[in-house]
Amino acid sequence: MILADKIINLRKKNGWSQEELAEKMRVSRQAVSKWESAQTAPDLEKVLALSRLFGVTTDYLLKDELEDEEFTDEPDRAPVKRVSLALANEFLEWRAKAAKDIAAGTLLCVVAVIPLILLAAASQAPGWAVSESLAAGVGLVLLLVFVAAAVALFISCGFKNTPFAFIDREPFETEYGVDGMVKERQKAYRPAYVKCNIVAACLCVLSPISLFAGLVTEKELFTVVMLAVTLLLAGVGAALFTLAGVRWASTQKLLKEGEYATRDPRKRRVKETVSTIYWLSAAAVYLAWSFWTRDWESTWVVWPVAGILFAAVMCLCNLLLERDKER
């Protein structure tokens, strides 16, 4: 009975209703009602969660006597930001729009090399009045234009995301009704998310077929065109993965599900930094190798190899982060 009274007093002191407390504890309102009427008692995991939520010690909650609260030793604890229903709706709408820009930027990055390899092949093919220097110059200009457009889209999304940056970087709480609204929108989007991922996966897996078809003939230009088709299909697949993933991740962030369930945002920031450095390094290797050998028709192999190695790099990154956490 004492624990029930303490839960009631702490809830009222924070100005929360039973529904709001249930939302924060991720339990039903009936469960909170039973705790407060002493019909049932919260298990140890829920007691720990109540302790963290109210900022009191577990000893205070479990003692069989009423007394002043014993607060945990967390001096100058910064107030946790709260996400209102209106802000959550605004965030989800913005991420739905940003997903299109980020997907477009991803596609531009993948296909940026296509004009270069096509022009390089045309300069070597008979009947095409394209010099090698002209092909390299125009191809590089188009490559840089594509990449610059992609970077502009990414930077624009970054600036527009500033009002919601705390959702990625800081602990936050959702107000009453937010979790329910987000779950409903996540449920409604799930069929489209699954279809988008299926189509993207099929495009990525089947994209080499065009390249294999090009290898059957002895026409070098046709082979390069088929390589361009392969890159285009892979780029569309990557864009679809991004389009679906950004929207799905926005709901997971608000619900603190999946990789966003962790309370420490450091791990995500480290992985994002490693990913950025990795792909910039891959681009530098590709350009350096291509300029040094002038063999633009062969240096494209950097990208599929980089894609395969990227998974290994991220696995190693996760392993090192987990080991550091254990220390």
φ, ψ of residue 287 in degrees (nearest 5): -65, -40
Homologous superfamily (CATH) of 2-62 is lambda repressor-like DNA-binding domains (1.10.260.40)
Whether residue 40 contacts residue 46, with contact meaning beta carbons closer than 8 Å, is answered with no
User: In this model, does residue 198 exceed pLDDT 90?
Assistant: yes
Tell me the two tokens of residue 167.
């959702």
What do you get for the CA distance between the two ends of the chain, in Å? 41
Average pLDDT estimate for 113-139:
81
Q: Between 327 and 204, where is the model more confident?
A: 204
Return the pLDDT at 236.
93
Q: Name the burial class of residue 255, with classes exposed (0-12), middle (13-18) and buried (19+) by CB atoms within 10 angstroms of its CB.
A: middle
Strand-pair category, 81-83 with 172-174 = parallel
Average pLDDT estimate for 97-123:
88
**Alpha carbons 63 and 67: distance in angstroms, whole number:** 9
pLDDT tens per residue across span 45-85: 788 888 888 878 777 777 765 555 554 544 444 456 788 88
**Alpha carbons 249 and 39: distance in angstroms, whole number:** 39
275: number of Cβ within 10 Å: 14
**Alpha carbons 224 and 230: distance in angstroms, whole number:** 10
Cα–Cα separations (whole angstroms), residue 171 to 15, 209, 259, 280: 21, 46, 14, 30
116: number of Cβ within 10 Å: 24
Return the pLDDT at 300.
65
Q: Name the burial class of residue 226, with classes exposed (0-12), middle (13-18) and buried (19+) by CB atoms within 10 angstroms of its CB.
A: buried
Return the pLDDT at 91.
94
Mean of per-residue pLDDT scores for the chain = 80
Q: CATH 1.10.260.40 in the chain: give the residue spans.
A: 2-62
Whether residue 113 contacts residue 300, with contact meaning beta carbons closer than 8 Å, is answered with yes
Among 175-184, 219-228, 278-287, which stretch is predicted with the lowest mean pLDDT?
278-287
**Alpha carbons 209 and 118: distance in angstroms, whole number:** 18
pTM to 2 decimals? 0.65
| CA 256 to the chain's CA centroid | 13
Q: Between 175 and 65, where is the model more confident?
A: 175
Highest-confidence range of 62-66, 153-157, 268-272, by mean pLDDT? 153-157
* 3-state secondary structure labels for all residues of the chain: CHHHHHHHHHHHHCCCCHHHHHHHHCCCHHHHHHHHCCCCCCCHHHHHHHHHHHCECHHHHHCCCCCCCCECCCCCCCCCEEECHHHHHHHHHHHHHHHHHHHHHHHHHHHCCHHHHHHHHHHHCCCCCCCHHHHHHHHHHHHHHHHHHHHHHHHHHHHHCHHHHHHHHCCEEECCCHHHHHHHHHHHHHHHHHHHHHHHHHHHHHCHHHHHHHHHCCCHHHHHHHHHHHHHHHHHHHHHHHHHHHHHHHHHHHHCCHHHHCCCCHHHHHHHHHHHHHHHHHHHHHHHHHHHHCCHHHHCCHHHHHHHHHHHHHHHHHHHHHHHHHC
